[in-house]
C-alpha cells in the first residue's frame, strides 16, 4: 500500500489529534494514530478510550487501501519540521514497516495492526440533535470552560452543562464559587433535553473550532455525544448524573448597579491581588457615589493595598468581599468595554454582565461573596 499526502496538512491534523492521547494508556495501542486509507481519502483516528477523534485528508496519490496503526510520538516528531512538500508512505504490512520518503530523505517506522484499536461507541438511533454555528459554539465554550470544577465528590460539576429548553440553549459551568450561564436565544426545542460535556472534550473543541464557518452538529443520548465539525468528528462519553438547579442560585432582585470599565478594573485587581492573604485571596470592594475602592490585606506579612477608581453607581453604599483570582478570571472572559455588576447585599451573590449583550445571546456570570471583617 502506497499513498502521498501534503506534509503541512498531515502535521496539522496529527497535532490536533495528539491532544486526545494520554501520556499513560490502559492499552498500548491507544498511544497510536490509526491510518485508514479508502476511496482516495485518508481517515486519521486517535483515542483515549473515552474520547475518539477522527479527521480526513484528501490524498494526492494512492495505490491500495487498508488500515494500520503507528506510534504518535515518533511520527509527530518526524513530520513537524517539514516545509510544505509531498510525503509518500510505503506500507509493508507483512514486515510491519512504514517507509516514509520526502524531498531530501527517508525514514522508517514500525506499524501495527489496527484491529485491536477500540471502536467508538456510537450514539443511539433516538439521539437528540442540536445544530449550532461553528464560531458561536467556539465562543461559548471559550467563555464557559474556565468556570468548570475539579471535584471528585461531585463529578457533574466537572464539565459544561448544555441545557436545551423551549426558550434557548444554555451553556452553564460552575465550581461552587463562580458560575457562568450563556444563553443562545436562536436555538431552542419544544422537547427539553440536556447533557454534561466533560472538560477534556470541551478543551479539544475549544482548540478545534472557530477556524472556519459552517455548522457543528451535536447528537447525544444518555451516555455519549457525537460532534461533527468541518472535516472532523469527536465521539465522547458524557458525565452521567443530575446537574444542580443553576437558576435557583441566581439572585433576581439586585437594585444596586455598578458600571465600570472592564480593563481598568481588571488591571486594578491584578495590582491589588498580590497583597491579599494567600489562603483566602479576599479583596474587599467598597462602592459609594462614583468611586469603587479595592482593598487587600495580609496582616501575617504586614502587606496592604488600596486602589480607587471612577465608576457609575446607582445604589446604597456597600462593602462586599470577593475572591480576587476568580474575579480576574471572570473579567478576562468578557470582551466588552464595560461590565455591569449587580448587587443586592453583601451576603448575596454578585452578578457580572456585559454592558452590551452579544447578538441573540444572554451572558451572565456570578460570583459568590466572601465574609469580610468591617
Q: What would the pLDDT profile of 137-164 be if each residue is shown by its tens digit?
A: 999 999 999 999 998 889 999 999 999 9
Q: What's the whole-number mean pLDDT along residues 168-174?
A: 96
Provide the grid cell at 190. Answer: 419544544
Provide the grid cell at 329. Answer: 478570571
Q: What would the pLDDT profile of 103-121 be if each residue is shown by its tens digit?
A: 888 889 999 888 888 888 8
pLDDT at 173 over 90: yes
Task: Check: CB of residue 189 under 8 Å from CB of residue 164.
Answer: yes
Backbone angles phi, psi at 230, to 5 degrees: 50, -120
- Please give the angle made by the CA atoms of 262, 264 and 268, to the nearest 5 degrees: 115
Task: Check: CB of residue 297 under 8 Å from CB of residue 145.
Answer: no
Q: What would the pLDDT profile of 36-85 be if each residue is shown by its tens digit?
A: 999 889 999 999 989 999 999 988 888 888 899 998 888 888 888 788 88
In this prediction, residue 124 carries a pLDDT of: 86
pTM of the model: 0.91
Q: Is 326 exposed, middle or buried (0-12, 13-18, 19+ CB in 10 A)?
A: buried
In this prediction, residue 263 carries a pLDDT of: 96
pLDDT band at 216 (very low <50, low <70, confident <90, very high): very high
Provide the grid cell at 288. Answer: 459609594
Which residues have CB under 8 Å from 160's CB, separation 6+?
141, 144, 145, 148, 171, 172, 173, 196, 197, 199, 202
Q: What's the whole-number mean pLDDT along residues 109-136?
A: 89
Q: How far is CA 225 from the centre of its chain?
A: 15
Task: Check: CB of residue 224 under 8 Å from CB of residue 140.
Answer: no
pLDDT at 374 over 70: no
Amino acid at each position: 500500500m502506497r499513498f502521498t499526502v501534503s506534509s503541512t496538512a498531515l502535521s496539522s491534523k496529527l497535532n490536533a489529534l495528539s491532544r486526545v492521547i494520554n501520556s499513560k494508556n490502559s492499552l498500548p495501542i491507544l498511544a497510536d494514530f490509526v491510518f485508514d486509507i479508502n476511496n482516495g481519502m485518508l481517515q486519521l483516528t486517535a483515542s483515549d478510550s473515552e474520547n475518539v477523534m477522527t479527521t480526513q485528508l484528501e490524498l494526492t496519490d494512492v495505490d491500495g487501501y487498508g488500515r494500520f496503526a503507528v506510534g504518535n510520538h515518533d511520527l509527530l516528531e518526524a513530520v513537524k519540521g517539514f516545509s510544505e512538500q509531498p510525503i509518500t508512505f510505503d506500507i509493508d504490512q507483512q514486515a510491519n514497516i512504514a517507509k516514509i520518503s520526502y524531498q531530501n530523505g527517508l525514514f522508517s517506522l514500525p506499524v501495527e495492526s489496527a484491529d485491536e484499536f477500540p471502536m467508538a461507541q456510537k450514539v443511539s438511533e433516538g439521539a437528540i440533535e442540536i445544530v449550532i454555528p461553528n464560531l458561536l459554539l467556539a465562543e461559548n465554550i471559550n467563555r464557559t470552560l474556565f468556570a468548570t470544577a475539579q471535584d471528585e465528590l461531585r463529578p457533574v460539576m466537572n464539565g459544561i452543562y448544555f441545557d436545551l429548553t423551549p426558550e434557548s440553549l444554555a451553556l452553564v459551568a460552575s465550581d461552587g464559587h463562580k458560575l457562568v450561564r450563556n444563553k443562545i436565544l436562536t436555538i431552542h426545542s419544544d422537547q427539553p433535553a440536556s447533557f454534561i460535556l466533560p472538560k477534556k472534550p470541551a478543551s479539544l473543541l475549544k482548540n478545534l473550532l472557530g477556524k472556519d464557518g459552517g455548522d457543528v452538529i451535536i447528537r447525544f443520548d444518555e451516555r455519549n455525544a457525537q460532534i461533527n465539525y468541518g472535516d472532523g468528528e469527536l465521539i465522547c462519553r458524557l458525565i452521567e448524573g443530575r446537574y444542580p438547579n443553576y437558576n435557583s442560585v441566581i439572585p433576581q432582585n439586585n437594585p444596586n448597579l455598578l458600571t465600570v470599565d472592564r480593563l481598568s478594573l481588571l488591571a486594578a485587581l491584578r495590582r491589588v491581588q498580590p497583597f491579599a492573604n494567600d489562603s483566602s485571596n479576599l479583596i474587599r470592594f467598597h462602592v459609594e457615589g462614583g468611586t469603587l475602592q479595592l482593598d487587600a490585606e495580609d496582616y501575617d506579612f504586614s502587606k496592604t493595598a488600596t486602589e480607587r477608581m471612577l465608576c457609575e453607581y446607582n445604589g446604597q453604599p456597600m462593602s462586599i468581599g470577593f475572591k480576587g483570582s476568580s474575579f480576574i478570571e471572570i473579567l478576562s472572559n468578557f470582551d466588552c468595554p464595560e461590565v455591569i455588576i449587580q448587587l443586592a447585599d453583601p451576603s448575596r451573590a454578585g452578578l457580572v454582565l456585559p454592558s452590551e449583550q452579544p447578538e441573540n445571546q444572554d451572558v451572565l456570570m456570578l460570583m459568590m461573596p466572601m465574609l469580610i471583617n468591617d
